[in-house]
Homo-oligomer: A and B are copies of this chain.
Amino acid sequence: MDTNALLAKLHAIDGECRRLQDSMAILQWDQETYLPESGVEERAEQLALLGRIAHERFVCAETAHLLEELGSVTANPGGDEKLPAIERDFLRVTRRDYDREVKLPADFVSEAAKAEGLSTAAWSLAKRNNDFNYFLPHLCTMMELARKRSVYWGYTQNVYDGLLSIYEPGMDAKAVTSVFTPLREQLSVLLKKIASAPQPDRSFLDKKYNTETQALFSAELMKRLGFDLNRGRLDVSAHPFTTSLGCDDVRITTRYFPENLLSGVFSVIHESGHAFYDMAYPAEIRGSCLADGASMGIHESQSRLWENVIGRSRPFWEYFFPVLKNFFPDELRSVTAESFYKAANICGPSLIRVDADEVSYSLHIILRFELEQGLFNGTVKPEDLPKLWRERMKEIVGAEPETDTEGVLQDIHWSMGSFGYFPSYALGNLYGLQFFGSLKKDIPDADAKISAGDFAVIHNWLHENIHKWGRRLDPPDLLKKVTGQNLSVRPFLNYIEEKYSGIYGF
């Protein structure tokens, strides 16, 4: 069989697996948005079955054979160059995925998918009822499954490194620590300065904002940001998320609190940032394993860039504040764009990660990173998490939750077995500011564009420099290509220091 025929067969298998994953994404999306309470058990079984089928389809003898045949083509001297670059990338990524996936037994995959469905449902109830013990057995199951997965992959000594590698290829706990240590130090110093400076006025944020009006504003916000509502939608869920049900069906969720206008607004911007990435993969990688983010950290770089660097900037609110004020004319009567901008950037100890300010946000991540490491090296017992959470929150962030709902139960990730995911958010902050440095060089008038509500030039830049690559470039290569640099905390810390010394006047 010639190379093209072999490739076509491999693409067909990949395509089927992607369609199965998209189908699972639909079932999961529905579970978080519209599933009736009693449907949880059956949904878990449906997901387990589809998970098993997708796994078996991918790691079948045919895939092994195709990869071997294609491997002998590319192993010949000069053989690799015979293939177009995109096919070389496709082969490299497929082989990496295969090598990982083939190590997992089908029963394990199916068991894990089912357990995940039940666990997220239990977490949701436990969070609603502030009942950590109801969730605890599921947490232990998810930990055990995560541990097994990592061991299957060969991480017998450093289980947690195996989990990190799911979200950030090539990154381990040591590498994460080496950036988190200076981050923690310098952010803590900055937060002390901020705490002793006079605070901007935030009285208008304590008003009640009608949630139906918030939803109407969200729709307007998405439209003006450039979210194509023919190719996606916005719904409400307990925890905001983005999911791709297909290349042309990327959905985001948010949640609304009458007493917290900013939470809904910034969740919409954050998730839209994810969606812009997933909506932008070019035709030549559409529907293939390359049509995904380079890593979760790179994905978070997009969401956190939109949420914070763009969404919490002065030019952004110069443009959007009058729009928002049209929706809430009474509540915002005496407020200006400038005072709204400052209030949206108030920093200080807070309980909820997704609503945290940019400065303390990474500290929320560092807390989770430390606890996750402890869970997998045996120094943290799962049953002690609520207590440890309160103690460590007080120490690292400076705030202590009164309930587990606002504490250890606040995030969905552990209930999904996504241990090792959290560092991606803080890495996303770092990547994001490195990318933004290049963007500002290429588009010197970016601020003027933003304050005019013209986001097309930013979309184009992100598309051309980041989105179009999908998984074709690994994070270090992508970063190097776009910025010429390696991962660094400096651009992020410079940005934070400059922005907040401006707001707080020190």
Chain A interface residues toward B at CB < 8 A: 16, 19-20, 22-23, 26-27, 30, 34-39, 41-43, 45-46, 49-50, 53, 228-233, 235, 245-249, 287
Contacts and interface: CB of A to CB of B under 8 A. Distances in A.
A343 B248 CA distance: 46
Given A20-B49, A42-B22, A36 B247 contact: no
Contacts of A23: 23, 27, 46, 49-50
18 contacts: A19-B42, A19-B45, A22-B46, A23-B23, A23-B27, A23-B49, A26-B26, A26-B27, A36-B249, A38-B228, A38-B230, A38-B249, A39-B248, A39-B249, A42-B247, A42-B248, A42-B249, A42-B287
A36 B50 CA distance: 23
A43 B45 CA distance: 21
Contacts of A45: 19
B246 A42 contact: yes
A42 B26 CA distance: 12
B34 A46 contact: no
Given A19-B49, A20-B49, A233 B36 contact: yes
A233 B53 CA distance: 29
A472 to B, nearest CB: 22
Contacts of A16: 49
A53 B50 CA distance: 10
As for how many copies of this chain the complex holds, the number is 2
A228 B38 CA distance: 10
A-B interface, 7 closest residue pairs, ranked by CB to CB distance from nearest = A39-B249, A42-B246, A38-B248, A37-B230, A38-B230, A38-B231, A19-B49
Given A30-B30, A38-B231, 4 more contacts: A34-B233, A36-B231, A39-B246, A42-B246
A368 to B, nearest CB: 32
A46 B20 CA distance: 7
Contacts of A246: 39, 42-43, 46
Contacts of A247: 42
Q: Which of A30, A38, A39, A50 has the most B CB atoms < 10 Å from its CB? A: A39
A27 B26 CA distance: 7
A229 B43 CA distance: 16
Contacts of A233: 34, 36
A287 B46 CA distance: 12
A37 B230 CA distance: 5
A76 to B, nearest CB: 35
A23 B16 CA distance: 16
A50 B27 CA distance: 13
B39 A231 contact: yes
A44 to B, nearest CB: 10
A16 B50 CA distance: 10
A229 B46 contact: no
Contact of A35 (B27, B53, B229, B249): B249
A27 B23 CA distance: 7
Contacts of A53: 53
A107 B37 CA distance: 37
B30 A26 contact: yes
B39 A245 contact: yes
Nearest to A286: B42
Contacts of A39: 231, 245-246, 248-249
Contacts of A230: 36-38
Contact of A248 (B19, B36, B245, B248): B36
Contacts of A36: 229-233, 248-249
A303 to B, nearest CB: 20
A248 B49 CA distance: 18
Contacts of A20: 49
A248 B41 contact: yes
A19 B45 CA distance: 8
Nearest to A287: B42
